Amino acid sequence: MKGNLMEKLRTYIFDLDMTVIDSSHRKVSLPDGSIDLLHWKENCTPEKIFKDEVMPLAEFMREAYRHHRVVICTARELSAFDIMYLRANNLPYDMILHRGKNDNRPDGKLKSDLISDFLFLYGVEPSDCVFFEDNLSVHEAMKPLGILTIHPEDAVHADIEY
């Protein structure tokens, strides 16, 4: 178990795209602002995945992993190449919550459902979680769960202890 056994285990949840990983070179938005999923899926090749760049919040993720539980919650349909990218860039995690095949729920609903299930199955209190997420619709979806959700741009200014 990480950290001092007497300390309460905190759960840090990290979105990937535009939070920990800059994958903007693979993303195209539709006129309504949503992501073009067909374009995204076509650009999830190993070559393009490995052109993604690690963002500054990755360092916090690495340090948090040394002391607490780290969960990735992504709207991606995760591939073996995504896992290889995480390992190659030393982006550690204890668990990954992700979109299943043919799951077209909007990001907020998807992540709310995934995290609700995680909280229930592992007996985690929402007050023990901090979620780093760039999508504001996901921020809204987290409010009923009572999870502190921080935009990556605001993470630099957040007073969060390990």
Q: Where are the domains of the chain?
A: 11-22+53-155
Q: What is the pTM of this model?
A: 0.89
Find the mean pLDDT for residues 125-153: 95
Res. 160 pLDDT band, cuts 50 70 90: low
CATH number belonging to the domain at 11-22+53-155, selected among 3.40.50.1000, 3.40.50.720, 3.40.1390.10, 2.30.130.10: 3.40.50.1000
Contacts with 40 (C-beta within 8 Å, 6 or more apart), sequence order: 26, 27, 28
Question: What is the number of other CB atoms lying within 10 angstroms of the CB of residue 15?
Answer: 24
Predicted confidence at residue 1, as pLDDT, reads: 38
Under 8 Å between Cβ of 20 and 55: yes
Q: What is the pLDDT of residues 10-48, one digit of tens each?
A: 999 999 999 999 999 998 877 776 678 788 888 889 999
Q: How are beta strands 53-54 and 21-22 bridged, if at all?
A: antiparallel
Of 133, 99, 131, give the one whose Cα is nearest residue 114: 99
Count H helices and E strands in the chain, helices first: 7, 7
Mind listing the pLDDT tens digit for each residue in 88-127? 999 999 999 999 998 989 999 999 999 999 999 999 999 9
